[in-house]
Structure 1
């Protein structure tokens, strides 16, 4: 393997993928959410950066072409596992997450079965949009966890009626409950909508890969 900067970034992103889950084993929330969110944002940025550098510097390698999609899939799959697990298995998250996970396993198995022919299944522009949408959705969903836990910390020990009065403006909001609630709601909704869009794109691109692979599977 040639240790070019793009390849190093890809390897670091692959190594960071399991750390997203490990954060929740060794840190309490919301610190685990912050660490996971930071790791995921850095990994998402390097996903674009390493590909751009490899093309710009003429450093595209077979090893880099292999590691890059593996790192993307590992990051997305592990992040979705953590988010779904901490959402108490909300069906609104489970369904698009299931579609995404199924597609990743299906396409990976398809590529492995096709062997050398798999090189003909090029990554399409729609597939790149799918990956970008997944990463933005997951970033917002991790952000929701941050807002949710700061809101919970701010209301700890408060009577429910007092919280309600603060949120409707009858009591001065000295603890910032309003903006924390808004942040939680908006980041959750944006993340959820984007995840459903990503799920739809995932299904479309998965079918596209299968359609292109079908001539090689007929025998």
Structure 2
């Protein structure tokens, strides 16, 4: 293995995947949310940087090509588990997350079965968009936790009627409840919409890979 900068960034992204979960074990919220969000966004950025540098500097390696999709899948899978847990198993998050996880396991199984012919399942442009939308959706859902935390903390001691009047503009909003509430709503629904879009792209690309592999799945028949 050659320790080029692109390969180092890929390894760091792989290590960041479990580190996102560890943040919620050793830090209280909202610090855990802040650290997890920054770690996830930083790792997501390296997904684009390492590929660009590898091509620009002609430093593409077999190790990098092998590890890059593993790091991406580890990041997405672990982050989805965290987001699903933090949402209280909200079905609007659980269903697309399940579809994404199912596809990742299914395609990984296809690649393992194809073995030396796994090169057939080259990453398509649509698959790259899928990964991008997944990462944006997860980052938005992590941000939702921050808005909800600060809104909840600053409404302690207030009854629902007072909060309602402040949000309606009938009372002075001295602590910025309005923008925190709007931020929570925007990241909640925006994150869910993006996650469903990511799930749709995930299933489409998974189906494309399955169709490409069909000739190799037929019994007693070799593809031409």
Rounded Cα–Cα distance in structure 2 between residues aligned with 1:147 and 1:3: 40
Structure 2: gaps (5+ residues):
220-224
Q: Which residue of 1 aligns with 2:222?
A: none
Q: Which residue of 2 aligns with 1:3?
A: 3
Deviations along 1:51-96, one digit per CA (max 9) or x if unpaired, are 0000000000010001110010000001110000011111100110
Q: Which residue of 1 aligns with 2:115?
A: 115
Q: Which residue of 2 aligns with 1:197?
A: 197
1:164 Cα deviation from its structure 2 partner = 1.2
Q: Which residue of 1 aligns with 2:54?
A: 54
Matches within 5 A, 1:136-155: 136-155=136-155
Is 1:106 the counterpart of 2:111? The answer is no
Is 1:183 the counterpart of 2:183? The answer is yes
Rounded Cα–Cα distance in structure 1 between residues aligned with 2:24 and 2:153: 18
Rounded Cα–Cα distance in structure 2 between residues aligned with 1:121 and 1:163: 53
Rounded Cα–Cα distance in structure 1 between residues aligned with 2:193 and 2:171: 33
Q: Over aligned residues, Cα RMSD in angstroms?
A: 0.7
Deviations along 1:88-114, one digit per CA (max 9) or x if unpaired, are 111100110000000000101110111
TM-score in terms of structure 2 length: 0.96
**Secondary structure of 1:28's partner?**
coil
Rounded Cα–Cα distance in structure 1 between residues aligned with 2:120 and 2:110: 12
Displaced runs of 4 or more, over 3 A: none
The total of aligned residue pairs comes to: 219
Rounded Cα–Cα distance in structure 1 between residues aligned with 2:56 and 2:100: 31
Rounded Cα–Cα distance in structure 2 between residues aligned with 1:90 and 1:104: 21
Q: Which residue of 2 aligns with 1:217?
A: 217
Rounded Cα–Cα distance in structure 1 between residues aligned with 2:59 and 2:213: 29
Rounded Cα–Cα distance in structure 1 between residues aligned with 2:157 and 2:19: 33
1:121 Cα deviation from its structure 2 partner = 1.2
TM-score in terms of structure 1 length: 0.99
Q: Which residue of 2 aligns with 1:127?
A: 127
**Secondary structure of 1:59's partner?**
coil
1:188 Cα deviation from its structure 2 partner = 1.3
Structure 1: gaps (5+ residues):
none
